[in-house]
Amino acid sequence: MHRAQMQGLHLRPIFSLSMTRQSAVAARRTAAVAQHMARMSTEASSSSEPTVKFESVLSMRNYVLNRPDKLNSLNGDMLEQLRPKIEEWSTSDLCTTIVGTGTGRAFCAGGDVAQIAVDAQDPEKRSGAIGFFKREFEMDYILAALNKPYVAIMDGITMGGGVGLSAPAHFRVVTEKTRFAMPETNIGYVPDVGASYYMSRLDGQLGTYLCLTGNHITGRDVFEMGFATHYIPSRRVPALLERLATVEQFSWHLMSGERLPEDPPFQLTGDVRVALDYAFRHDTVEQIVEELETLSSKDNNEAVRQWASETLATLKERSPTSLKLALYSLRKGKNISLLQALRLEHQLATAYCNMAAPDFVAGITNVLVTKSKEPTKWSPDTLKGVTSDLLARFVGTGSTYTDTKGHSLEISEELLAQRLPSPYRWSLPSEEEIGAMVKGSHKDSGGTSLKRQEVLDTFERLRERKLGVKEKVAEVLSRRCTEDKDGFLVWN
C-alpha cells in the first residue's frame, strides 16, 4: 500500500472480496493466525534467542524486540538486525502492514547507553559510540519514511530509543501498562531520536515540560496529550495483532479504543495546564525556573502551587547543561524538518561522546550503572555555570567536539524524496485544530462563529466518534474559550 492509498484509509471498506469468498478466506486466515499466536505464546525467551525476532503472519510483518531482561533496550546488534529487515519489508508486495512489539514488560526502554558511556571514555572506541547514534537515528528516519502502514504497540515501558521507534509510526497504540518518558536530562544527556521534532509539536508546552523534567506519564496521558493515536486494554493486543494480519486492506477502524473504568484522568489539565504553558513558554531555562518559583509561592490555586513546587524540585535534580541543550534543541526543532532535527541531535550526541561535558558519563554511571540513590554530581552544577563557551562546544560552528569521525547521518535520495506524513494526523484533535474551528478558519467550520455544542458535534463527526475526542475538545474549550452574549465561542 502506497502513501496515496493511506490518505483515505478510513473511507474505504476493510475487505474488498465478495462476501462468500471473504468468509472462507477470513476463516482460513483467522485459523492460521490463531495457530501462530498460540505458538508464539509458548515460546520462552532465553539467552540463546535472537535479540530481535521477525514474524510473518500472512501479510503482516512484525519485529519483536527480545531483550526482556534489559527491557528491550537497543544495542548495536539489534539495530544491525532491524534495518535490513525493515528495508526488505518496505519494498515487498507481500507485506501490507509493519508492526513493532516488545517481549516482556517493555516495548523498548531506550538505547543501551551504559556501554556507549564506557566507549566514549576510550579514545580508541569513541568512534563506535558515535556510530551507534548514527545507526539509531538513520533507523528512525527509515521508519518515518515507510510507504505502508506502520503500527507501534507501546504496551509497557517506552522511553528514549523506544520513543524513537514508535514516534515515526502512523499508528501508535498505548495501553494501561504504558510508561512513557524522555528521561535523558536525568542522565546528563539530551532528548534525541527525533524528540526535538516530535515533542515540540505537541499541544502548548507539553513537549518542553516532558523533555526537561523527564517525568513519566501513563498510557492514557500519552493518548490524551496526542502522542499516541489509539488506546486499548493490554489484554486486547493479541486480538489486535490477529485482526491486522487477517485484513485485506488496512483501516484505522481496526484499532477502536476502549477506556478502562479504573483509569485515572489526565492530570495536566485545567489550571495546572495553563500554568505549565505559561511557565515553559520561555526560551531560557532561567526564565522557566523563575516563573515556577513565582507560581509555587504566589498562585491562588493550591494544585498549581504544588505542581510548580514539584516541577522545580525535579529540574534542580537534572543536569544544568542538559536542560539548556534540551531547550535549545526543542526550540530549533519546532521549525525544522525531521531530518534536520535528527542531524542536530546527532551533533549533540557526538559532542557528548567526544566528552564536551562530563555529565553524560557521570549521569549514566550514577543512575544506570551503580544505581546510586544519591543525586548525580553535575559539572557545572548550576545553570549560571553553563557558560556560552561550554554550549559552543555542542552547537558552535567549527567545534572540534562535533567531529563525527566519519559517522555523519546518511539518508538515501530515495528516502529523501518521500513525503513524510504529519506525525499527529491520526491522534486526537490538537489545540491548534480546535482553535481553528472556533475562529472559523478550519475548512469544516463554515467560516462562521460556533457554539460549544456545535464544536463538540463537529469534531465527533469528523473523528467518527473516536474514543476521547469529546473529552479532549471539551477540556480545551473550557480552558481556552469564553462565550459572548449570544453564546458563541471566543478563542483566548
- Measured in degrees and rounded to the nearest 5, phi and psi for residue 309 equal -65, -45
Closest by Cα among 427, 456, 469, 14 to 229: 427
Query: CA-CA distance, 395 to 196, in Å (whole number)?
Result: 15
**Whether 224 contacts 267, CB under 8 Å:** no
> Quick one: 310 exposed, middle or buried, by C-beta within 10 A (0-12, 13-18, 19+)?
middle
Query: CA-CA distance, 42 to 118, in Å (whole number)?
Result: 37
Catalytic residue among 136, 184, 277, 291: 184
Catalytic residue among 111, 207, 257, 468: 111
Counting every residue written for the chain, the total comes to: 492
- Asked about 161 being catalytic, the answer comes back as yes
- Asked about 192 being catalytic, the answer comes back as yes
Residue 273 has which C-alpha cell?
A: 495546564
Closest by Cα among 343, 76, 51 to 193: 343
- Asked about 111 being catalytic, the answer comes back as yes
* Sign of the C-alpha dihedral computed for residues 82, 83, 85 and 87 taken in this order: positive
Catalytic residue among 160, 161, 226, 363: 161
Catalytic residue among 138, 155, 192, 224: 192
- Measured in degrees and rounded to the nearest 5, phi and psi for residue 97 equal -145, 135
- Asked about 184 being catalytic, the answer comes back as yes
Catalytic (active-site) positions: 111, 161, 184, 192
